[in-house]
Amino acid sequence: MHRIVRELGGLPGVERVTADHKTQVVKLTLDIERMSPDEAREQLARAGFPAR
């Protein structure tokens, strides 16, 4: 989980990343002018976390 937080947190447009180890849920706060929700889903999938 720490890896995903570091990777996603460093991407342009990602303002905040939180991860819950117990539930295995990662939440992103985006600047949608810099990264669309679809782009965020793609990044999550590449990192091994399919978006819901």
Residue 22 reports pLDDT greater than 80: yes
List Cα–Cα distances, 50 to 4, 11, 33, 44, 45, in angstroms.
Answer: 12, 17, 22, 6, 5
- Say if residue 34's pLDDT is above 80: yes
The whole-number average pLDDT for the span 15-31 is 89
Is it the case that residue 50 has pLDDT exceeding 90?
Answer: no
Helix (H) or strand (E) holding 4: helix 2-9
Report pLDDT for 39: 92
Predicted TM-score (pTM) of the model is 0.71
